Chain A
Amino acid sequence: ETGVTQSPTHLIKTRGQQVTLRCSSQSGHNTVSWYQQALGQGPQFIFQYYREEENGRGNFPPRFSGLQFPNYSSELNVNALELDDSALYLCASSLDTGLGNTIYFGEGSWLTVV
C-alpha cells in the first residue's frame, strides 16, 4: 500500500452539480497531484500542489479547482459537472527532492455523472 488515501471511492452525481474529492498524502510527502483517467486511457494531469500553492496545471478548464492544506492533504473540486467528467480521479503524492519525484497513487475515486 502507498499510504495515499482517497474518499469517496465511488459516487454518482447529476449533470450541473458540484463534487469534492479528498486525498490524504503519504506521510512525509509535500506534493500532491490530481489525475483524471477515463476508461481505456492513461492518467491525464489536472494540477499539482506543492506546499499549498498550485505548482502546475494541465489542460483542464477553471471549473476544476483544488486546495492543499497545511498537513499536505488535498481536495479536488469540480463545478458544473458534465457527462464527460465521468472517470476515475487519482490522487498522487510525492516528495520533491529535485532528483525525480516518484509519484504514488491512491486507489482513486470513481465519479459517474448522469
Chain B
Amino acid sequence: GENVEQHPSTLSVQEGDSAVIKCTYSDSASNYFPWYKQELGKRPQLIIDIRSNVGEKKDQRIAVTLNKTAKHFSLHITETQPEDSAVYFCAASWSGGSYIPTFGRGTSLIVHP
C-alpha cells in the first residue's frame, strides 16, 4: 500500500516568513494529492489539492508543487500570519485504490507574531 512521509513534524516561523512542508510518497500510481489544515480541536479542512497532470498550483498565499519523478510534493505558505498556526496534513491517493487517501503524520506550524 501507499506510504506517505511528511517533514518536518514541527515548524516554527516568524510572522511574514515563508513556510515549506514536504511529503514523499511510495506508490507511483498515486495521482491525487490534497492538503488539509486542522486547527486545535477541529476537523481537517481541505486547503489545496493537486493532480498528477499538473506540476504546480497556487491559491493566494498557498502553493503546492509536485515532482512525480522524485515522488514528492510540497506545500508553500508565503507571508505567514498567526492564523496560519495549525497542523497540516498531506495525503496521496489513486483511482485503483478508490481514491482512499493515505495521510502523512502531520506538521505542526507555529507562526509567532
Q: A42 with B104: in contact, given A55-B98, A100-B32, A102-B34 (CB under 8 Å)?
A: yes
CA distance A33 to B93 in the complex (A): 14
Within 8 A of A (CB), among B1-27: 6
Partner of B43, one of A40, A45, A101, A108: A108
Give the interface size class of chain B: 20 to 34
List chain A residues, Cβ under 8 A from B100: 33, 45, 48, 56
Q: Mark B73-113, 1 if CB is under 8 A from A, else 0.
A: 00000000000000001000101011111111110000000
Which of A33, A40, A56, A104 is within 8 Å of B46, CB to CB?
Answer: A104
| B34 surroundings in chain A (CB, below 8 A) | 102-103
Docked CA distance A90–B43 (Å): 8
Whether B97 lies near A56 (C-beta < 8 A) is yes
Return the CB mask of B33-56 against A: 1 if under 8 Å, else 0: 010100000111110010100000
Assess the A100–B51 pair: CB atoms within 8 A.
yes
Q: Shortest CB–CB separation between residue B30 and chain A, in angstroms? A: 10
Q: How far is the CB of A11 from chain B (nearest CB, A)?
A: 16
A-B interface, 5 closest residue pairs, ranked by CB to CB distance from nearest: A100-B32, A42-B103, A101-B99, A105-B43, A107-B43
